[in-house]
Amino acid sequence: MNKSTLKQYGSNILAALALAVLPANLAHAEGSAGEGFASLVPLVLIMVIFWVLLIRPQQKRMKEHAEVIKNLKKGDKVITGGGFFGQIIDVKEQHLVIELAEGIRVKAKQDTIIDLVKND
C-alpha cells in the first residue's frame, strides 16, 4: 500500500465513524427555534454552576493572597511554598530575606509565600 491509498482508506474510516456518531434524529434538528434554545439551557446551567462553585472562589482566594503578599513586613512569620517556616528579616521589591533558624537566612520571591503563621 502506498501513502495515497492509506490516506484514502483513513479518510473513508473517519467519514464512516462520523456518520455512525451522528444522532439518528438529526433530520428533526431543523425544528422550531424554541427547541434549539431548550437544548442550550442545560449547558448554560452547567457553566453557571461551574463558575459559582469553582471560578469565583478561586478568584477570591487569589485576591486574598495578593493582599497578604502586599502587606508583608519585617518581623512577620510566614510559610513558604516549599513548606519552610520562617521570620521575615528584610523586605525588598521582588524578594524577601527569611530567617529559617538562628543564622540561617534565605531569599524567597514574595509570591512564593503561602500564608502568615497565626500562632507558633
For the segment 12-36, what is each residue's pLDDT rounded down to a tens digit? 554 554 555 455 445 455 555 567 7
**Domains recognised in the chain with CATH numbers:** 1-71 (no CATH), 73-120 (2.30.30)
- The pLDDT-based confidence of 73 (bands split at 50, 70, 90) is very high
75 and 111 Cβ atoms separated by less than 8 Å? no
pTM across the whole model? 0.58
- The pLDDT-based confidence of 6 (bands split at 50, 70, 90) is very low
C-alpha cell at 104: 540561617
Query: Residues 55, 61, 66, 67: is their CA dihedral positive or negative?
Result: positive
Phi, psi of 74 (to 5 degrees): -60, 135
Higher pLDDT, 10 or 52: 52
Q: What is the mean pLDDT of residues 83-100?
A: 93
